[in-house]
């Protein structure tokens, strides 16, 4: 169980990374909150109240598998909104946990609904954001449907890696990557070692890539 860290609320004064800048109408109602690593932002089943924007840090949206392993539904990073489902649901459908020291802009769901009803330009930006997140979610679901750890690692590189060798820069630790792939840390470590030994991938401290 994660213990929530004390929050330090404050009015928002800086623009975020949302296309065109974080909307002024949302800034007026948003509250900035800081969360320590491991802090619980909200728990699955708790009553919805806000949508969140990551100003800095990272937040994992997760559930737990049959063996108790963490299954990450989304890894929200700077510039990402999360918990958009609060617009149409009375309860949060997963846990949200800060992966590192994180600063969030907490936007009341009612304020976001009002903006969507009154600002066509924001609606276009919002639909674009949801489209990008939907494509990422579909790729993740496809990856998690693969049975083998080897297949999941290669799918990740091919779908999210950059450049001719599908290089993936690691944003966190191997434990973070294991959560993202729905694997234990031990299984992921053995899989990466085997793929490297076979000459399939190359690996350094901060990145994975296909071998030449």
pLDDT in tens, the chain (212 residues): 333 333 333 333 333 445 445 666 778 888 999 999 999 999 999 999 999 988 888 899 998 877 777 788 888 887 788 998 878 889 999 999 999 999 999 999 988 888 889 889 888 888 887 787 788 778 888 898 898 999 999 999 998 888 999 999 887 788 888 888 889 999 999 999 999 999 999 998 889 999 98
Secondary structure in 3-state letters for the chain:
CCCCCCCCCEECCCCCCCCCCCCHHHHCCCEEEEECCCCEEECCCCECCEEEEEEECCEEEEEECCCCCEEEEEEECCCCEECHHHHCCCECCCEEEECCCEEEEEEEHHHHHHHHHHCHHHHHHHHHHHHHHHHHHHHHHHHHHCCCHHHHHHHHHHHHCECCCCEEECCCCHHHHHHHHCCCHHHHHHHHHHHHHCCCEEECCCEEEECC
CATH numbers and ranges of domains, the chain: 10-144 (2.60.120.10), 147-210 (1.10.10.10)
């Amino acid at each position: 169980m994660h213990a929530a860290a004390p929050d330090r609320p404050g009015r928002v004064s800086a623009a975020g990374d949302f296309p065109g800048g974080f909307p002024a109408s949302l800034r007026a109602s948003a509250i900035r909150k800081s969360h320590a690593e491991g802090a619980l932002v909200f728990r699955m089943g708790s009553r919805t109240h806000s949508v969140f924007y990551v100003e800095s840090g990272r937040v994992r949206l997760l559930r737990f598998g049959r063996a108790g392993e963490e299954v990450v539904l989304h890894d929200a990073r700077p510039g990402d909104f999360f918990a958009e489902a609060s617009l149409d649901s009375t309860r949060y459908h997963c846990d949200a946990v800060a992966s590192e020291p994180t600063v969030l802009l907490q936007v009341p769901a009612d304020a976001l609904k009002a903006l969507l009803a009154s600002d066509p330009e924001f609606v276009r930006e919002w639909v674009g954001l949801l489209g990008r997140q939907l494509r990422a979610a579909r790729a993740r679901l496809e990856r998690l449907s693969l049975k083998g750890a080897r297949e999941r690692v290669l799918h990740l590189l091919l779908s999210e890696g950059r450049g001719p060798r599908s290089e993936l820069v690691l944003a966190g630790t191997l434990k973070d990557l294991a959560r993202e792939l729905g694997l234990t840390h031990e299984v992921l470590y053995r899989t990466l070692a085997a793929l490297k030994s076979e000459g399939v991938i190359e690996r350094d401290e901060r990145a994975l890539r296909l071998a030449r």
